[in-house]
Structure 1
Amino acid sequence: MAPKKTTQRLGAAHNALFLQIHEEMRRRIQNGDFKPGDRLVEDRLAEEFGVSRNPVREAIRLLSSDGLVEVNARRGVYVSVPEVEKARELVEIRAVLEGHNARLAARRGNPKLLAEAGKILEKGQAALAGKRTSALAQLNDDFHRALSRASENETLAEMLATLRLRSSLVFAMADPEVQGQSWQEHADILRAILDADEDKAAALSTDHVLRAGERARARRERLASDGELTQ
């Protein structure tokens, strides 16, 4: 009997397409290219990506389940604006878990995993020096995920991955002019981890998240007072 030929299923190709669009739109939201309150028009996005509206619609559905966009019958689709109380809750719980993650990374002291974090830190500092600010959001995410791997606690890493996604809108509202301060804090955290100073690493990491949340809150208030932020 001749072997059955295998062909690519159209559904699989479609899935790959809308997942790619989802990832690109998620990246743009986290980078601040799509800002909280911005409308997302399916036709325009489909034209920009060179696709039909269907994969764009599926990508938006995923982004909605991620909590990154809102679908409203009157306003259409727009980037979510984090509620003040929800933003505070996300920052507080993420701060605690990031602190514990840094403590574990310092305790494990895995040289290979910490070297990976160090390389990402260098890339971030280089991007900052070169004023390539569009690359910083992804590098920031990469740095924190590298520290999650360095904790060698998969459950904690999974919890933080979910929290980082849900809180990405909060931190996307931080003033881009303070990126230098953020990357200096990254360097201080990594130094404490490399020194195996668990208490200092935990404290610095917790404070890093809380300060970032405060910067985002302050900018949100400025945007709201200037009429640039709408629910």
Structure 2
Amino acid sequence: MSQPASPLPDRGPSGRRTAKGSLGSTAAKRVERPAPLRQVVYEAIAELIINRTLEPGQHLVEADLAEYLGVSRQPVREALQRLQSEGWVDLRPAQGAFVHLPTDEEADQLLSVRSVLETHSAKLAAERATAADVSRLRELQEAGLDALAADDTEGLVAANAALHAFITELSGNKVLAELIGLVDRRVRWYYTPIARPRGRDAWTEHEELIQAIAGQDAGAAETIMAKHTERTRQAYHERPEAPRS
């Protein structure tokens, strides 16, 4: 009686099992796995901090966060420890976890570095941008104006980040893009409370910047971005809840 076909792979000359067909001679196709739960929880809490649903100085209770996110306390605890190592959360002995309360000096240092990076990015973008790139910039500008008209803070922050990110992409400098990426989240965090106060001025400056890039005027783009980022830095220090000396 004939034997049923074996479900196991055949053995090759070396004695090792090989899959039937040509899998042994082609690149392996790896199964994509969902992100680990601790990573998902980390990203969720980080975003709640960035958009200020969780405000600076706020006490973070593991049980409350776990219930809100629909998970156990263990991935929340792991996420808080990682957020503490990255400066988003302060873990205080016998008190618990709190959203980090940034000092004006911290914000000033980061926004100053951001200004240097993005000023150079704008210069390079003006030298490289195509007509299609400028059209995309105008689409991003329209998204920001729509959010402004709707008085949508979250939309303003997202549109601002998207426009600046695309200018960075247009620079064509991967190192510059990587460095700007490192500060992007904190820039969004600092920008959230001033997105509406900056309002029309910020988007007028964006329009001037787009015009400079469209005209391939690298010098003007550099100057406009320098002034734009400096005004954002000043606006942060002048925000309503800023500490007074």
Q: Normalising to structure 1: TM-score of the pair?
A: 0.82
Mark the CA change 1:75 to 1:182 in structure 2 (over 3 Å): closer, same or farther.
farther
Q: Do the aligned partners of 2:137 and 2:166 also contact (CA within 8 Å) in 1?
A: yes
SS at match of 1:219: coil
- Unaligned runs of 5+ residues in structure 1 are 226-231
Quote the Cα distance in structure 2 between the aligned partners of 1:114 and 1:78.
Answer: 42
Q: Is structure 2 residue 42 aligned with structure 1 residue 42?
A: no
Give the Å deviation of 1:48.
0.8
Give the Å deviation of 1:175.
6.0
Match of 2:138 in 1: 118
Mark the CA change 1:85 to 1:139 in structure 2 (over 3 Å): closer, same or farther.
same
Match of 1:33 in 2: 53
Quote the Cα distance in structure 1 between the aligned partners of 2:204 and 2:36.
Answer: 37
CA RMSD of aligned residues (A): 2.7
Give the Å deviation of 1:194.
1.2
Match of 1:224 in 2: 243
Which structure carries more relative contact order (alpha carbon 8 Å, separation 6+)? 1
Match of 2:203 in 1: 183
Larger Rg: 2
Q: Do the aligned partners of 1:172 and 1:216 also contact (CA within 8 Å) in 2?
A: no
Q: Is structure 2 residue 100 aligned with structure 1 residue 80?
A: yes
Give the Å deviation of 1:161.
0.8
Give the Å deviation of 1:86.
2.5
Give the Å deviation of 1:20.
2.6
Give the Å deviation of 1:85.
2.3
Amino acid at match of 1:2: L
Sequence identity (%)? 31
Match of 2:184 in 1: 164
Amino acid at match of 1:195: G
Q: Do the aligned partners of 2:157 and 2:195 also contact (CA within 8 Å) in 1?
A: no
Q: Do the aligned partners of 2:157 and 2:191 also contact (CA within 8 Å) in 1?
A: no
Give the Å deviation of 1:219.
1.9
Amino acid at match of 1:156: L
Give the Å deviation of 1:57.
2.3
Q: Is structure 2 residue 69 aligned with structure 1 residue 63?
A: no
Offset from partner CA, 1:111-151 (integer Å, 9 cap, x none): 34443333222111112112222222222222211111111
SS at match of 1:174: helix
| Correspondence 1:124-139 to 2 at 5 A | 124-139=144-159
More helix by share: 1
Offset from partner CA, 1:75-107 (integer Å, 9 cap, x none): 422222222322222121211111000000001
Q: Do the aligned partners of 2:161 and 2:188 also contact (CA within 8 Å) in 1?
A: no
Q: Do the aligned partners of 1:64 and 1:71 also contact (CA within 8 Å) in 2?
A: yes
Mark the CA change 1:195 to 1:75 in structure 2 (over 3 Å): closer, same or farther.
farther
Q: Normalising to structure 2: TM-score of the pair?
A: 0.78
Match of 2:8 in 1: 2
Give the Å deviation of 1:223.
4.3
Q: Is structure 2 residue 232 aligned with structure 1 residue 212?
A: yes
